[in-house]
Amino acid sequence: MGDPVVEADSAVGAVSADAPERAAVRLVSLRKEFGSGSQRIVAVDGIDLDIADAEFITLLGPSGSGKTTVLRMIAGFERPTSGAVLLDGRDVTAKAPFERDVNTVFQDYAVFPHMSVAQNVEYGLRVKRVPKAERRERVRAALASVRLEGFDRRRPSELSGGQRQRVALARALVNRPKVLLLDEPLGALDLKLREQMQVELKQIQRQVGITFVFVTHDQDEALTMSDRIVVFNDGRIEQVGPPDEVYERPASPFVAGFVGTSNLLRGDAAEAIIGQPGTWSVRPEKIRVDPADALVEHDRDGEMTAAGVVAEAIYAGSSSRLVVTLDVGGQLVVVRQHDVTSPHELAGLRGQRVLLRWRQDHVYRVGDDHADHP
């Protein structure tokens, strides 16, 4: 491999004319390899991505997909093997982390236990020798932005997990970075607190108006908070788009299976039900369940149907999940919101013949260059 700075500079020169005016982050042919020879691992395989100013964008993928490595290259903690990182139109590929207008919030908070909340938040300002009066005002504003007014004298040990996470967030925001990088910051919180912090993080991002680049493997987090989602798999980008587009129109079987739950129809089942070859996706909550004899009486134009037998009926609190073995082969999962169905009544559905229905516009081809209706 050549020198990464030389390769990055040439990459920037090739594409800079097309750079959007308000791109806060631009990644150009970004590649990262670890090891060498037979031990070489390609963690990030030549990705291109533009992140807009004041956008909340989420890098989503399973462990080992490359999303955290990309975040670390934006932060400057990892050096690309080739390609370029631009921040606000400036090539920072060879710059150290402290030379970049970014801050990072980590999963483990990394707050100083021997300092008060205010001292934690102002630490970076003290290092930069910001005058005392300005430090106090910026700390006050940062704590207010994360709803921690009046907590300035407390120690981290006196705070809840969510409050400590907000201290870490305030410490990053007080430096007024162009871009805030968040590396699975909610992973250590319990479910209820994590859901609360998802809402609060999005509200904070809107209030402060800076770019948030959020890394997670949690699909619900990505769908809840993001303006756009970047789905990673095996070091490459599978799909980029708004949450509804990524969920409703997955671009590949991987996206369909990883972002939420999806049924994939292939082979003979696809031919029989869809009428076309290929791989097709339909979400479980889009499917209705009718008695098997409803086919003739209630058939509607614009709907697809599949008959089968309920193999499993699972009670899940606010919803239930049915696994239906299709007559044409394969299985479909159906998610239904509960009305008056009890676990006992659900169990009685096992072995019953049913008819599944969904609208034609709820099924999409996946794995091709585009998603299509049949």
CA 229 to CA 244: how far, in whole Å? 10
Q: Which CATH number fits domain 262-366: 1.10.357.10, 1.20.950.20, 3.40.50.10320, 2.40.50.100?
A: 2.40.50.100
Q: Are 4-101+177-257 and 262-366 the same fold in CATH?
A: no
* Buried/exposed code over 285-296 (b: 16+ C-beta within 10 A; e: otherwise): bbbbbeeeeeee
Nearest in space to 28 (alpha carbons), one of 1, 53, 51: 51
CA 362 to CA 373: how far, in whole Å? 8
Neighbour-count burial of 155, counting CB atoms closer than 10 A to its CB (0-12 exposed, 13-18 middle, 19+ buried): middle
pLDDT in tens, 200-229: 889 889 988 899 999 999 998 999 999 999
pLDDT in tens, 73-126: 999 999 999 999 999 999 999 999 989 999 998 877 778 889 999 999 998 898
- Structure token pair of residue 218: 């949690």
pLDDT in tens, 3-51: 444 343 434 433 433 444 568 999 999 999 998 888 899 999 999 999 9
Q: Which CATH number fits domain 4-101+177-257: 3.40.50.2000, 3.40.190.10, 3.65.10.10, 3.40.50.300?
A: 3.40.50.300
pLDDT in tens, 269-321: 888 898 888 899 999 999 999 888 765 444 556 789 999 999 998 888 788 89
- Torsion region of 267: left, alpha or beta (phi above 0 gives left; psi -120 to 50 gives alpha): left
**Would you list the domain boundaries of the chain?**
4-101+177-257, 262-366
CA 244 to CA 60: how far, in whole Å? 14
Residue range 328-341: average pLDDT? 81
